[in-house]
A and B are shown apart, each in its own frame.
Chain A
Amino acid sequence: MKRSHFIALVAASIAFLVMLPIALCLCGHALDPMTPNPNLASAAPNFQQWAGRDELGRSVLARVSLAAGLSLGAASFALLLALSLAMLLGGLAGWYHGQWPDRLISWVIALLHTIPFFLLVVVAAAIWRPGLFGAFLIVGLFVWAAPARLARAEFLRLRRAPHVTAARAMGFPASTIFLRQTLPVAFLPAFTAVLILTPELIGLDVGLGFFGLGAQPPTPTLGRLLYAGLSSLNSAPWLAVAPCAIVIALSVTAFGLARLWAKSIPTSTRA
């Protein structure tokens, strides 16, 4: 992959994970997502309100925009947390292969891998009753196991890579080799593995919404809007269309970005 393409990919990922949620939240706020308007309850879409109004007469477009911003923002927050944990702990485990840090971290990875992830998140959320971002903090604390496994394998392989041996022969300290020779190479697969989880995390919000956990009303999230829309599919079908469309759009974008990141991994270092 050309250097300029790679820079464009990095920019697109930052735009998707950081700037898009902020922009969506600001748009949603500007369009007034909270004021009920009983006279226009469940109004069908028209030229003023492109996506119609919900059962309290609030603008669906504004709510969907705010919800998409919040859900995507929470998901990317959890993903970045998981990515840092995965790089740090997976890296340590791979670096100290066979010694006690590796044994301990691999054991924790195996534990988190065997206990069903959704159940763990639901039970933890039922105990702490966090808000939207608190719930995704929990998600971030539990979801790092799979990318950490990849990062560990990557570090394990890189310990014997020629450029690392060369750096070691040139007398660089271990910390420099860890940070400059192995971390950037191991980062790509782990980031790809994390990015591909984005749709799953947006979907997790739907699951949490079913159990009354996560964000509480009147804060809209995609999960909540989707649930509300689908449960009134007969009387007001437009309520489901906008959240569905945006979940699909965000998922496909995340998947496309992950595909591009997977392609950006240099073939010489690909397993």
Chain B
Amino acid sequence: MKAKAVRNMMLRHAAYSASLLLGALLLAQFLFESVPGDPARRALGPYASQESVIRLRHEMGLDRPLVERLAANIRSALRFDFGHSIIDGRAVAPEIGEKFTRTFTLGFQAVTIAVAISLLLLAVIHFQPRAAFLLQLAGAPVILPSFLSAVLVAIGAALWLPAMFGSSGSSRVFPAPLLPSLVAAIYPASVLATSLGARWSALRSAPHYRSARAFGLSRIQLLFRALLAPSAPTVLALIVSQLSVVVFALLVIEIIFSLPGAGTLMLASIQANDYPMLQGVLIINAFVFITLHFLSESLYPILDPRVAK
């Protein structure tokens, strides 16, 4: 009975995620339909010949009616084919795949660092309550814009630590360069520490915590069983939501550190009005994040058995 309920819930989530994906495709289509003027002319510039504009219009499907274009776009999105870049004619999907893999690796690394730092801080406070003032300090970056702390530290590091940030080692994908991900981890670490700190202080006055203490559980058992386990769904939700903040702070950080990643790709495509590339970026990222949300929601019944009931 319970397994069936969980399966039904998963199916419902999957259908909902698929509808969100369709919504993202429609939103992208709407955005790119609303390009002021002729997209092909805008992309190629005022000096391009009329034939090449007509060829590009045909390639982008602009000479077909809207419904046909939409159907064709959905079909090619299902095949992961987003056309070719206007700048140099490379296929969009592999290019985005390569560049965003770098950025997402950096992002995952940053979020992992952030989780480690914030849990370590909270554990220290758990064992030594007098260190609680550290939590107040750790909350400071939340007040500032998420970019600001990252940009400030990144530029400071680029000025004073040239040996560490050198982009010579940056051609690897994993492990990604450490300094950019450390810089990107500042804001999510702060958010995680403050939100989890608030959650834990609420848990400390919950009945289960008091009875666990009355049963004489040691501090370390309390930490893992009475605080960490009940807040696991919160941690998961925070990780997913912070990942999107981090990835897009990284677009800017990558430009500062001149790393070859999604940031530089976006910069070049924006400057050249490379519409197929921008559309691909939007749809592929929507796909990635909808999948991530779906996966995290599928984990909820495991982390929080009440959801499955």
What is the bound-complex CA distance between A206 and B267, given in angstroms?
14
> At the interface, yes or no: B114 with Cβ under 8 Å from chain A?
no
- How many residues does chain A have at the interface if contact means C-beta atoms less than 8 Å apart? 40
What is the bound-complex CA distance between A32 and B35, given in angstroms?
36
Task: Collect the chain A residues with CB atoms within 8 Å of residue B16's CB.
Answer: 110
- Interface contact tally, CB-CB below 8 A: 113
What is the bound-complex CA distance between A230 and B159, given in angstroms?
10
Contact A230 B270 (CB under 8 A): no
- Mark out the residues of chain B between 265 and 298 whose CB falls within 8 Å of any chain A CB in the assembled complex: 266-267, 269-271, 273, 275, 278, 281-282, 285-286, 289-290, 293
> At the interface, yes or no: B23 with Cβ under 8 Å from chain A?
yes
Min Cβ gap A213→B in Å is 7
> At the interface, yes or no: B151 with Cβ under 8 Å from chain A?
yes
What is the bound-complex CA distance between A247 and B147, given in angstroms?
12
Return the chain B residue nearest A258 by Cβ. Answer: B143
Query: What are the interface flags for A196-216 relative to B under an 8 Å C-beta threshold, 1 for contact and 0 otherwise?
Result: 000110111011001111000
What is the bound-complex CA distance between A155 and B99, given in angstroms?
43
Return the chain A residue nearest B243 by Cβ. Answer: A116
What is the bound-complex CA distance between A105 and B16, given in angstroms?
14
Contact A111 B20 (CB under 8 A): yes
Contact A200 B145 (CB under 8 A): yes
Segment from B1-9, B175-183, B209-217, B247-255 that makes contact with A: B247-255
What is the bound-complex CA distance between A117 and B281, given in angstroms?
13
> At the interface, yes or no: A19 with Cβ under 8 Å from chain B?
no
> At the interface, yes or no: A233 with Cβ under 8 Å from chain B?
yes
Task: Collect the chain A residues with CB atoms within 8 Å of residue B220's CB.
Answer: none
> At the interface, yes or no: A124 with Cβ under 8 Å from chain B?
yes
Segment from A22-30, A89-97, A248-256 that makes contact with B: A248-256
Contact B24 A111 (CB under 8 A): yes
Query: What are the interface flags for A69-85 relative to B under an 8 Å C-beta threshold, 1 for contact and 0 otherwise?
Result: 00000000000000000
Return the chain B residue nearest A146 by Cβ. Answer: B241
Contact A115 B24 (CB under 8 A): yes
7 cross-chain CB contacts under 8 A? A111-B23, A114-B289, A119-B248, A126-B278, A127-B275, A206-B145, A226-B151
Which 8 pairs across A and B sit closest by C-beta, in order of nearness? A203-B145, A118-B248, A116-B244, A203-B147, A126-B270, A255-B143, A111-B23, A230-B155
Query: Which residues of A approach B to under 8 Å, CB–CB?
Result: 107-108, 110-111, 114-120, 122-124, 126-129, 199-200, 202-204, 206-207, 210-213, 226, 230-231, 233-234, 244, 247-248, 251-252, 255
